[in-house]
Amino acid sequence: MTIHREGYASIALATIIFIIVNVLLFWLFGTTLLWLCVSLFLVTLSLVLFIVSFFRIPNRKLTINNHQIIAPADGKVVVIEEAVDEEYFKEKRLQVSIFMSPLNVHVNRNPIDGEVVYNKYHKGKYLVAWNPKSSTENERHSVVLKKGSVEILVKQIAGAVARRIVNYLEVGQKVKQTNEYGFIKFGSRVDLLLPLGTKLSVNLNEDVQGGVTIIGEI
């Protein structure tokens, strides 16, 4: 396991606060309220460990297959439905949405090989990520990957807790399947907009792993 570079500053800040708070507590109350100092030590240590865990990148055997769409994120499949995309395709697509809780790995990965033909950030609201309106009203970053005649839109969506979307792609860039393309901090959602008729390999409420689970066939 390694730590994502997006987490270095957050982990450093959390560690500094942890040290300062606990040094002051034990200095001021260590002899009179030791039980309170120990309790707060354990609570603040748990928070630091949670932040470290949030930015983890576990060692995994990634799935590479030119004829398959691979999950772009860890989480639970919360939507499988046909939906009209008003942003790019202007027509119906098959939408698969993955909800990422704060406990999930938050690295986002390319679902297919291809070229980035569209990349746009949208300011927006911070509705809870499982709200159907979050796909079109929340802060989000949309990317379209094209491989041959197939185009797939991948949408990073901020949630009620997540307030920072990181996206590393640029229009014209060639990308490799399962390579990292972004990160969303502290709970969020990723939507896939696929061609109608895509044969899916996942079901509603199924847990998936980014870069590992097969979403469907191209």
Candidates 161, 143, 162; CA nearest to 153 is 143
Query: For a pLDDT cut of 90, what percent of the chain falls above it?
Result: 67
Q: pLDDT tens across 153-205, in order?
A: 999 988 666 557 889 999 999 999 999 999 887 668 899 999 999 999 999 99
In the predicted structure, residue 93 carries a pLDDT above the cut 80: yes
Residue 133 has pLDDT above 90, yes or no: no
What does pTM read for this prediction? 0.85
State the pLDDT at residue 135. Answer: 64
71, amino acid identity: A
Is the pLDDT at 43 greater than 60? The verdict is yes
pLDDT of residue 41: 95
Catalytic pick from 101, 134, 188, 201?
188
Mean of pLDDT values over 45-57:
91
Amino acid at site 43: V
Mean local confidence (pLDDT), 85-109? 92
**Is residue 39 annotated as a catalytic residue, yes or no?**
no
Nearest to 142 by CA among 181, 198, 98: 181
Greatest alpha-carbon pair distance for the chain in Å reads 72
Cross-strand partners of 190? 98, 156
Q: What are 109's strand-pairing partners? A: 180
